[in-house]
Amino acid sequence: MTAITPDNITVPRKLLDGDKTNLVGLTRDQMREALIAAGTPERQAGMRVGQLWQWIYQKGVTDFSVMTNLAKDYRALLTEKFTIARPEIVTRQVSSDGTRKYLLRIQGGHEVETVYIPEEDRGTLCISSQVGCTLTCSFCHTGTQKLVRNLTPAEIVGQILVARDDLGEWPKPGRHPKDETRLLSNIVLMGMGEPLYNFENVRDAMKIAMDAEGISLSRRRITLSTSGVVPEIPRAGAEIGCMLAISFHATTDEVRDKLVPINNRWNIEALLNALRAYPKLSNSERITFEYVMLKGVNDSDDDARRLVQLIKGIPAKINLIPFNEWPGAPYERSSNNRIRAFADIIYKAGYASPIRTPRGEDIMAACGQLKSATERARKSRAQIEAEIRG
Ligand code: SAH
Ligand code: SF4
């Protein structure tokens, strides 16, 4: 098999549906050009983009014929040239705690997972940015799956549309829901993949998520999690402007090299320098440091004290994630007492240190457990074969 690099994995925007172009995921400029190429008069094109965005992203419409503020002939033209397509739901699992996990099929037969997590004051959608991941963090299930390809903006935004369909969250005409009362009120880019290795597509998709005529979520309600692709961090600040979470996970380069191998390329110091320069850092817009608690590996009192020293001066909160186990994982979760003692040291140093409650564990929807089912099936077949041979 030839190696697949991030440069040669972009797929065409056209879907298999005849020759029709999917309007989902196009930037305003791209949609404008596509509409003009299809025969829309230039002076009308900008207005048509706004109207279409509202139908697609605010009302969830997938059929041009119901777009009543467009002339009948124009609706027919749109139907002939374009589609409004979403990824297809392969399976949908609902956890006993209300978490929903969707396995979605995208072009090429690939599969990605998306997780919806309801909480008292918000509903968070955890979306994927790649099929698999090129990085190989040793505690992460996704990291054991090779990268298949980057997701397109349509496939990234499509995850939001699919979830809103399933939640039945398209507003009644004339009603504009406020962020805080929405079922889907927050987005975290914490599913499969490294979002900063698919920068342009993630950026274009998040622009649609933030646009007032798009999904219309505040940039403060969108968090991008990165393992530490240092050169892309300033770009994320300048071109997306969303909240940032860092998969930190260790307090010495020696340990971080093993847990998060990208540390071999950009070490802790380089990462922290990039974070200190991240724009709009204030106490209300803190960077989240994610820290997975691995028994005997990174969970000592000394680690907690070093962590506090390292992040000094950065407005931060530290999210402690009890390790979520997966079949064959080489680590164990730290004990509850250990996690509490660790949290206590951080808290006393003046940082919020929430311990993340694992959600959707019964359906393998928790952090780091995502991996396409096809890949799982392939693995288990391989295991069965090995057993037969053995
Ligand atoms: N690739 C990006 C985003 C996806 S991972 C990144 O690494 O930041 C989302 C979060 O889940 C990361 O902080 C990741 O380190 C964490 N994670 C991965 N595997 C985990 C596991 N088995 N248990 C707990 N957290 C895990
Ligand atoms: Fe990729 Fe993030 Fe998993 Fe690391 S933790 S392998 S970067 S998905």
Ligand 2 pocket: which of 198, 247, 371 to mutate (most atoms within 8 A of CB): 247
Which ligand 2 atom minimizes the distance to the CA of 368? 3
pLDDT at 354 > cutoff 80: yes
185 within 8 A of 227, measured Cβ to Cβ: no
CA–CA separation, 383 vs 374, rounded Å?
Answer: 14
129 within 8 A of 157, measured Cβ to Cβ: no
Q: Given CA atoms 234, 236, 240, 246 in this order, what sign does their dihedral have?
A: negative
Least confident of 36-45, 70-79, 323-332: 323-332
Strands (E), the chain: 21-22, 82-83, 88-94, 100-106, 110-118, 123-126, 130-131, 149-150, 186-189, 222-226, 243-247, 287-293, 316-322
- Per CATH, the number for 88-389 is 3.20.20.70
Look at residue 147 in the predicted model and tell me its pLDDT. Answer: 76
Look at residue 285 in the predicted model and tell me its pLDDT. Answer: 86
Going from the C-alpha of 338 to that of each of 200, 259, 326, 345, the distances in angstroms are 40, 19, 21, 11
In a 3-state reduction of DSSP, which class is residue 385?
helix
Look at residue 174 in the predicted model and tell me its pLDDT. Answer: 58
Look at residue 1 in the predicted model and tell me its pLDDT. Answer: 29
Q: How confident is the model at residue 214 (pLDDT cuts 50, 70, 90)?
A: very high
Look at residue 356 in the predicted model and tell me its pLDDT. Answer: 86
Least confident of 166-175, 228-237, 314-323: 166-175
From the list 111, 113, 194, 290, the catalytic residue is: 113
Shortest-distance Cα residue to atom 8 of ligand 2: 193
pLDDT at 374 > cutoff 70: no
pLDDT top residue among 216 and 14 = 216
pLDDT top residue among 283 and 245 = 245
Mean pLDDT of the chain: 88
User: Residue written as tokens 């009120």?
Assistant: 185
Residue 374 Cα to ligand 1 midpoint, Å, equals 21
pLDDT at 317 > cutoff 50: yes
Whether 113 is catalytic is: yes
Look at residue 328 in the predicted model and tell me its pLDDT. Answer: 87
Q: pLDDT of 274-310, one tens digit each?
A: 999 997 666 678 999 999 999 999 999 999 999 999 9
Q: What is the pTM of this model?
A: 0.89
pLDDT at 378 > cutoff 50: no
- Find the mean pLDDT for residues 340-352: 95
Q: pLDDT of 163-187, one tens digit each?
A: 999 999 987 655 655 665 789 999 9
The share of the chain scoring above pLDDT 70, in percent, equals 85
Q: How confident is the model at residue 67 (pLDDT cuts 50, 70, 90)?
A: very high
pLDDT at 375 > cutoff 60: no
The share of the chain scoring above pLDDT 90, in percent, equals 75
User: Residue written as tokens 């993630």?
Assistant: 202
Domain parsing of the chain, residue ranges: 25-83, 88-389
CA–CA separation, 272 vs 327, rounded Å?
Answer: 33
Shortest-distance Cα residue to atom 5 of ligand 1: 190
Look at residue 372 in the predicted model and tell me its pLDDT. Answer: 55
CA–CA separation, 39 vs 350, rounded Å?
Answer: 60
Look at residue 176 in the predicted model and tell me its pLDDT. Answer: 59
pLDDT top residue among 331 and 17 = 331
Look at residue 18 in the predicted model and tell me its pLDDT. Answer: 62
Binding site membership of 292 for ligand 1 (Cβ less than 6 Å): yes
Which residues lie across from 21 on neighbouring strands? 14, 82
CATH 1.10.150.530 holds for 25-83: yes
Q: Which helix (H) or strand (E) holds 345?
A: helix 336-348
